[in-house]
Amino acid sequence: MAEEKASVEVEETTEAVQEVKEEVQTQQDPKEYLENFDWEKYEEGIERVDDTKLKEFEALVEENFVDTADEEVVQGKVVHMTDREAIIDINAKSEGVISLNEFRYNPDLKVGDKVEVLIDIREDKTGQLVLSHRKARTIMAWDRVNAAHDKEEIVQGFVKCRTKGGMIVDVFGIEAFLPGSQIDVKPIRDYDQYVGKTMEFKVVKINHEFKNVVVSHKALIEADIEEQKKEIIGQLEKGQVLEGIVKNVTSYGVFIDLGGVDGLIHITDLSWSRINHPNEVVELDQKMNVVILDFDDNKSRIQLGLKQLEKHPWDALGDEIKIGDKVKGKVVVIADYGAFIEVAEGVEGLIHVSEMSWSTHLRSAQDFVKVGDEVEAVVLTLDREDRKMSLGIKQLTPDPWTDITSKYPVGSRHKGIVRNFTNFGVFVEMEEGIDGLIYISDLSWTKKIKHPSEFVAVGDNLEVEVLELDVEGRKLSLGHKQTTENPWDKYAAEFAEGTVHKAAIFEVVDKGATVNFNEDIVGFVPSRHMEKEDGKKLGKGEEVEFKIIEFNKDFKRVVASHTAIFREQEERNVSTAKRKAAVAAEEAKTTLGDANSQLQALKEKMEADTKKK
C-alpha cells in the first residue's frame, strides 16, 4: 500500500512538471526560448521550470510531507489496524507499522487517533519506514519528567508493584522509584494496599546518567501538615485533652499522631496497672483521647498520658482494707528483694522476701512465687497518702520461735541441714524459720579448720548440740564437736610432758618442723630441738624419738624435742661423774686425817720416852 502511494506521488509530480513545461513553450517566442535555453540542464535531462512554479511546488511538498529524520519524534495518525499492528500515517512518502504491544497501556486505541512516534529508521532494507511509539513516549516522558522536576509540578503516577524498600510507579511511561519512607508521613505497614492505584507525586530526584527517577507522595502532604502542625503547637496547653491516632508502638511507649504533631505516651502513663508491653493496652491506628502532661520550650517533644483521664485507683480504694486484713492478689512483678501483688486494679502491695518465710536464711523471691500466681497475704503497713502497702505471707503460719525453748533446749541434740557458710562459721537450718550458727571452733576437737568448706558442704545433714539460746534476739548457738567425746582428754595423759614417742619428720618449716604422732596430734619441733647427737639436724622423713616438752589441751598445742633425748643422758652422765668425784674426794680427805693423827701420836710417844730417860 505504501509503495502504491509513493508511485502515485511520483506520477503526480511528473505530470505537474510536464504541464509547466508545455505552458512555458506555448507562451514564449521560439527565438527567445532558444536564446535562453539551458543546454547544460537539457543534457542532464532536466527541463527548465519557472521559478514561481518551483516555489509553489516546494511549498506544496513542505505542506504535505514531513522531514523523516532519524531519531525524531513526530505526530502520526492511526489509519488502519489489524489484530497485531497499527498503520500510522506521518505524511511521509510511506506509512509506518507499529506493533500493538506498544499500545498495551491504551486498550481503547482506534483508527483516527493521534499518536506520537519516533522515526527509528527512514527506510529499512525493504524500503519500509520504521516507527516506534514506545521510544517516542520515553523521550517525551523524560522531557515531561525533567520539566516537572524543574518546575516542582505535581504529576500523576500509577503504582505498578512492590519492590525492595518501596514501590515502582509509572510516570509518563517511565518506571520511577517511590521509597517506602516517601509514601506517607506515617510509617506504612502494608505496601500492597497502594498497588494498582493512581496517585499524585512530586519528582524529587533525577539521575540522568543512570536514567533513574525518584518520586515522593509524602512531599505533597508535608507542606499542609507543617501548617497544621504550627497551628496545633500554638494551641497546646498542659492538661488539654486531644484526640490522636496510634502511630507507632515501642517497648517503652506509644507515639500518637495529633494531626501532624507527634506525642509520646510512656509505658508508665498508659495504665494505672502494671503492663509488660504497650500493646496490652493499645493497637496501631487506634483512635483515642489523650491528655497533655508536659512539653519542652519549643513544643517539639510532647509528653502525653492516657491513665490520667481516669481516677487514680488508690483514691477509689475502700476503707474496708486495713492493717492485719487478709487480701488476695496476683503477682505482677518479681524482683530479687520481693514481689509486687496487685490486690485491686492499679493498687499494688510489696511482699518483701523477708516476709515470705520465717526462715532467716534469705532466698530470692523467685523461690516462693512467680508472675501470674494468685496469692493470699496479710496487710502489714498501709499508707494511703504515699500510696504504699506492704504485705506478708509468713504471717499466715505460726511463728516457729513461739515454742523454741521447749523444742530446742540447751544441751539437746538434733540434726540440721547446712544452708550457708561464712568465714567464722556455718548456718544450719533446724526447721523452716529456725537457723542456728556453728562457730568454726565448734566444728572439730582436733582439726585446725581455716574455712568451714574444708569440713562440710552446703546441703549436708549435720548432728548438732544446742549450746546457747537467745529467744528475744532469735539467735541459736550450736556445736558439732560437742556431739562426740573430746579426744584431748585421753591425749593429756598419753602425751604428757616428759613422755617419749617415736615418729618421723612430716614437714620442715621456717622455725622448725612438724611431726604427726597420730591422726589428731600434730607436734611442733623447734629448730634448736632438731639437732642430732652428731651435731647435724633432722631432715624430712627421718624417724627418731621425741620427747614431749609442752602439752596444752585447751590450745591443742604439742611441742616435742629430739635433742632433749641425748642431752638428758649427757646431763645424767655428768651428774654421775660429779657424784663419784665427790665421794673420792671425801675418801681421800679421811685417809689423810688418819695419817696425821698417827704421826701426832708417834711424836707425842717419842717426846714422852725422851723425858723418861
Q: What is the DSSP string of 378-431?
A: EEEEEETTTTEEEEESGGGS--GGGGHHHHS-TT-EEEEEEEEE-SSEEEEEEE
Determine the residue type at 380: L
State the Cα–Cα distance between residues 301 and 360, nearest whole angstrom. 50
**Cβ atoms 274, 333 nearer than 8 A:** yes
Q: CA 244 to CA 252: how far, in whole Å?
A: 18
What share of the chain in percent tops pLDDT 90?
A: 16
The residue behind cell 504541464 is 19
Give pLDDT, residue 479: 92
Give the amino acid at 514: T
Cα end-to-end span (Å), the chain: 218
Q: What is the pLDDT of residue 9?
A: 46
Q: Which three cell numbers stand for residue 17?
A: 512538471
Interatomic CA distance for residues 244 and 62, integer angstroms? 68
pLDDT of residue 310: 84
CA distance 299 to 237: 10
pLDDT at position 361: 64
For residue 10 the three cell numbers come to 511520483
Domains parsed from the chain with CATH numbers: 76-137 (2.40.50), 152-223 (2.40.50.140), 236-305 (2.40.50.140), 313-396 (2.40.50.140), 403-479 (2.40.50.140), 487-564 (2.40.50.140)
Determine contact, residues 302/263, Cβ cutoff 8 Å: yes
φ and ψ at residue 448, rounded to 5 degrees = -90, 105
Kindly tell me the sign of the dihedral angle through the C-alpha atoms of 55, 58, 63, 64. Answer: positive
Contact yes or no for 100/73 (Cβ under 8 A): no
pLDDT at 594: 62
What's the rounded Cα separation, in Å, for the pair 556 and 564?
A: 22
**pLDDT for res 140:** 78
Q: What is the mean pLDDT of the chain?
A: 80
Regions of the chain with pLDDT less than 50: 1-10, 12-14, 16-17, 20-21, 23-26, 65, 68
Q: What does the pLDDT read at residue 208?
A: 79
**Rounded to an integer, what distance in angstroms lies between the CA atom of residue 274 and that of residue 346?**
7
d(CA 348, CA 272): 10
- For residue 216, give the nearest of 229, 205, 230, 232 by alpha carbon: 205
Here the cell at position 544 is 627418731
Q: How far apart are CA 526 and CA 529, in angstroms?
A: 5
CB 195 within 8 A of CB 234: no
In tens, the pLDDT along 534-560 reads 888 889 999 998 998 898 877 788 999
- Cell representation of residue 482: 560437742
**H or E element in which residue 543 lies:** strand 543-552
Q: Which residues pair with 431 in a beta bridge?
A: 434
181-198, pLDDT tens digit by residue? 888 877 777 888 888 888
Residue 496 confidence (pLDDT): 86
Q: Do 272 and 317 meet the contact criterion of CB atoms below 8 Å apart?
A: no
Q: Give the rounded distance of the alpha carbon of 202 from its chain centre.
A: 41
In one-letter notation, the amino acid at residue 328 is K
Distances, alpha carbon 419 to alpha carbons 431, 432, 464, in Å: 11, 12, 14
Cα–Cα distance for residue pair 147/328, rounded to 1 Å: 74
DSSP assignment of 106-158 equals -TT--TT-EEEEEEEES--TTSPEEEEHHHHHHHHHHHHHHHHHHHT-EEEEE
Residue entry with cell 493496652: 281
3-state secondary structure of 48: coil
